[in-house]
Structure 1
Amino acid sequence: MSTPHSSSSSAQAARQALAARLRDLRLDAHLTSRALAALAGWHEAKTSRIEHGKKQPSEGDIAAWVQACGVPGLLPELIAELRAVDSAWLDWRRAEKSGLTHLNAAVRELYERTKVYRSYCQDVIPGLLQTAGYTTATLAAIRDGRRVPVDDVAEAVAERMARQHILYEGNHRFVFILEAAVLTYRRGGPEVMIGQLGYLLEAMALPSVSLAVIPPNVERAGRWPVENFYIFDDAQANVELVSGFLTITQPREIAMYAETFTRLHEIAVFGRQARALIKSAMDSLE
């Protein structure tokens, strides 16, 4: 079980915290690196690489580590910590090896407990505002493009649609920022896109929803398009990259995304102006 290197300080900090804890266990047990390696049955260099965060241990490695240090009761806790490190970065191949439904279902509780949700998208309408047709076209393209081994698009679409109940229920607030290009990127053909854009106009009337669009001709002043990201209260940010899915929990890093969101929000338009951009995109399709 290994996590690809990520530039995110959240993923790196989690790896380093686990490595430091394993080192402390060795020192508390009064073992040298060589002694622990001998008890665990591997080369001394492996101990050093694990403690310096250069190699992520497997669950078997941790089991051998706690046994050598005389603290086998810590194994469940450390395994949980290891899995948390592993979940900070998910490459799409691993995340989607059992299909698309599991990953969508796994985040439903996160959406349901979030009070203030902020999302910025530069190439796709966010899932909470998608129609079934748009979601079907999007997930079918993902299935084909990333060669997902299980065809469960219909089930994944149903899961995403079920998640949207939070737009109408509970004490939630949603702030969406879309680049204008999102309105013209075609997914599913003209009929699907017209229906999707019409649904955006409907969603804008919901009291829980604030939808802003960044016009194509706005002065960016350094506020360039960035990767799609989603902020859940001040507790977590998720980022979609070409190769995988990043979960950010470091407060400093979440604050960077929040600041970026604010800066993009400053150049976006709302209300009548946003509706005009959406209707213009619909007219071009009709």
Structure 2
Amino acid sequence: MIAFEHLTVRYRTAQKEKNKTTVLDDISLTVPQGTVCAIIGPSGCGKSTLLKAAAGLIKPAEGNVRLDERALDPKKDCIGFMPQNYGLLPWQTVRENIVLGCRIRKNWQDGREADEARLQGLAQKLHIEDLLSRYPRQLSGGQQQRVSLARSFLLRPDILLMDEPFSALDAITREEMQDVFLTLWQEQHVTTILVTHYVEEALYLGQKIVVMGAKPGRIVRVFENPLSGSSEKRSTQEFFTMGRNLREEIRRISRGEEA
């Protein structure tokens, strides 16, 4: 379980400014163990900032982030982070990029049978077993995304933070990668927070959906989503109606009309 407790983040918008802008205001949210929480809202509402605070990249002005009833510690806890640009190092091969996180955590050893078996198993599931010696520049966007997913799931993190990971892909590839993610997630059930600006993606992947508002960033609504993870329900009238309502709510929030 990951919990945000009265989290407030402030920063200066310019170096010469004395006053700080409140980016996130009194965020309290609990994501149960082994679930996917999708965060959606208008641009500028602090979605990515919330992920960075969870990853320990930003120090909050107030409040804290807890993991299983204790303060989250990025030095001790294993955190998987997937940025929008996939986070691949261009001078390293696909194989080197995949094992990078494990090497940083010092839980990888080249040639160790169990480690190599896990790597090969993930590569096969993601259909990148023939790409391990290539470099990121030699891959398509979808292939780079598969490498990023392989690195995250090879790590077996305590929590996985995903910042609009599929946004740079075309619509068809994006849907394919959503299914790939679900297949891997169903094996590990890692607690995941997914930031997205696609309504359908939030409905398909998020068991819990958080709608945020801006200026300052705050939680407007949280609801459980019974439609997540089902490709059959994705084509139903219920899914379409829920997506339309969620999209309209985000428009109202953008116009400052929420209650």
By relative contact order (CA 8 Å, sep 6+), the higher-ranking structure is 2
TM-score scaled by length of structure 2 = 0.27
Report which of the two has the higher share of helix.
1
TM-score with structure 1 setting the length: 0.25
Q: Select the structure of larger CA radius of gyration.
A: 1
Which structure dedicates a bigger proportion of its chain to strand? 2
